[in-house]
């Protein structure tokens, strides 16, 4: 029965992605979901506790406990990408929780960000605990998607042994060159019962052409089968942002040499990424 539902859901993804991209521009998709703003404590057992705000959204009219996906923003902070993926996932029957890591720390985004991505992992653990506390969420069917900084979060969480309830993670352009080279960014294995998808851009100037492929190939053979890598043609870093083309300086760009990274909206790559992410979560969170 679950397999039949999964197949039907996968067939619907393409139509839903197209309609949701269009609906996102007119905001009509909000009628299909309901949302509220929540807050919870991150790092409660440390000296650096912060209150994290988040937007919780779920499909309207569904009463049974739902699978849920945590959405983790990039260096720029919460932006259009989170809502875009949230709408697609809501239409597929998932609840979403988009966290704001910067407001909790009084940061502005861009290069006004923590020194290390690991400083924000407690926010994800707190988000997991929050979702587990809700009766309308199926606590055994949780996933995560992140963009850039959030993609790095996804990569690190993929190997964290304590997060057994995070069954599926999607890392959008997660700066592949840095792992196992920059201190504190290990990527040497995938935790049990977990799957990871990496979505990289062919024209992403953080990485070299084969950095993501090389990174995955260095995993143990048994772990390589748990990772799906997709490189999107013509896609830059942050290709889903529907804005004018721009440059963003980052010292981690160009394999750590630093420089201005081009960011260019690519609608075709965006539709493809939305479809891939939707299919991935439908498959991995419907077991």
Percentage above 70 pLDDT, the chain: 88
What average pLDDT does range 194-199 have in this prediction? 97
- What is the per-residue pLDDT for 25? 42
**Tokens 């799957």 -> residue:** 195
Nearest of 240, 94, 61 to residue 167 by alpha carbon? 94
Judge if pTM exceeds 0.85.
yes
Residue 3 has pLDDT above 80, yes or no: no
Residue 15 has pLDDT above 90, yes or no: no
37 pLDDT band, cuts 50/70/90, is very high
- Summarised one tens digit per residue, pLDDT across range 38-70 is 999 998 877 789 999 999 999 998 989 999 999
For residue 24, the surrounding DSSP H or E stretch is helix 2-26
What average pLDDT does range 152-164 have in this prediction? 86
Three-class SS of residue 77? Answer: strand
Six token digits for residue 166 = 């995070």
- Summarised one tens digit per residue, pLDDT across range 113-133 is 999 999 999 999 999 999 999
- What is the per-residue pLDDT for 44? 81
Q: Which CATH number fits domain 2-284: 3.30.110.40, 3.40.50.1820, 3.40.50.970, 1.10.10.10?
A: 3.40.50.1820
Cβ–Cβ < 8 Å for 87, 20: yes
259 pLDDT band, cuts 50/70/90, is very high
15-29, 50-64, 183-197, 204-218: range with lowest mean pLDDT: 15-29
CA distance linking residue 117 with residue 179, whole number of Å: 12
* Residue partners of 183: CB distance under 8 A and separation at least 6: none
Cβ–Cβ < 8 Å for 144, 169: yes
Residue 193 has pLDDT above 80, yes or no: yes
Counting other chains too, the contacts that 245-250 makes at CB distance below 8 Å and 24 or more residues apart are 248/110, 249/111, 250/75, 250/111, 250/206
Nearest of 171, 100, 93, 170 to residue 138 by alpha carbon? 93
Three-class SS of residue 164? Answer: coil
Chain length of the chain: 287
Residue 241 has pLDDT above 50, yes or no: yes
For residue 35, CA distances in Å to 57, 59, 78, 81, 105 come to 4, 9, 16, 17, 24
Burial grade of 94 (CB within 10 A; 0-12, 13-18, 19 or more): buried
* Residue partners of 243: CB distance under 8 A and separation at least 6: 263, 265
Mean pLDDT of the chain: 90
Residues β-bridged to residue 35: 57
Residue 110 has pLDDT above 70, yes or no: yes
- What is the per-residue pLDDT for 244? 97
What average pLDDT does range 159-178 have in this prediction? 90
- What is the per-residue pLDDT for 5? 42
Nearest of 132, 60, 122 to residue 97 by alpha carbon? 132
Q: How many CB atoms lie within 10 A of CB 229?
A: 17
- What is the per-residue pLDDT for 164? 63
For residue 123, CA distances in Å to 27, 35, 54, 74, 207 come to 29, 20, 10, 14, 27
Residue 285 has pLDDT above 50, yes or no: yes
């Amino acid at each position: 029965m679950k397999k039949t539902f999964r197949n039907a859901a996968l067939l619907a993804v393409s139509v839903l992605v197209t309609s949701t991209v269009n609906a996102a521009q007119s905001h009509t998709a909000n009628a299909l979901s309901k949302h509220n703003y929540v807050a919870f404590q991150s790092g409660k057992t440390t000296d650096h506790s912060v209150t994290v705000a988040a937007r919780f959204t779920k499909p309207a009219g569904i009463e049974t406990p739902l699978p849920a996906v945590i959405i983790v923003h990039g260096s720029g902070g919460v932006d259009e990408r989170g809502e875009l993926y949230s709408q697609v996932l809501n239409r597929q029957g998932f609840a979403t929780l988009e966290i704001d890591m910067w407001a909790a720390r009084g940061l502005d985004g861009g290069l006004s960000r923590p020194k290390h991505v690991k400083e924000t992992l407690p926010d994800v653990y707190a988000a997991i605990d929050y979702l587990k506390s809700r009766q309308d969420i199926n606590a055994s069917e949780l996933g995560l998607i992140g963009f850039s900084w959030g993609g790095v979060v996804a990569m690190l969480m993929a190997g964290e042994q304590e997060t057994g309830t995070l069954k599926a993670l999607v890392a959008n352009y997660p700066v592949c060159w840095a792992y196992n080279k920059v201190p504190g960014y290990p990527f040497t294995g995938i935790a049990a019962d977990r799957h990871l998808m990496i979505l990289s851009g062919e024209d992403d100037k953080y990485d070299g052409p084969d950095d993501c492929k090389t990174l995955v190939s260095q995993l143990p053979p048994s772990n390589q089968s748990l990772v799906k890598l997709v490189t999107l043609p013509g896609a830059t870093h942050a290709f889903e942002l529907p804005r004018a083309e721009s440059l963003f300086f980052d010292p981690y760009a160009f394999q750590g040499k630093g420089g201005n990274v081009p960011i260019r909206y690519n609608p075709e790559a965006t539709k493809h990424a939305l479809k891939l992410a939707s299919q991935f979560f439908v498959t991995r969170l419907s077991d």
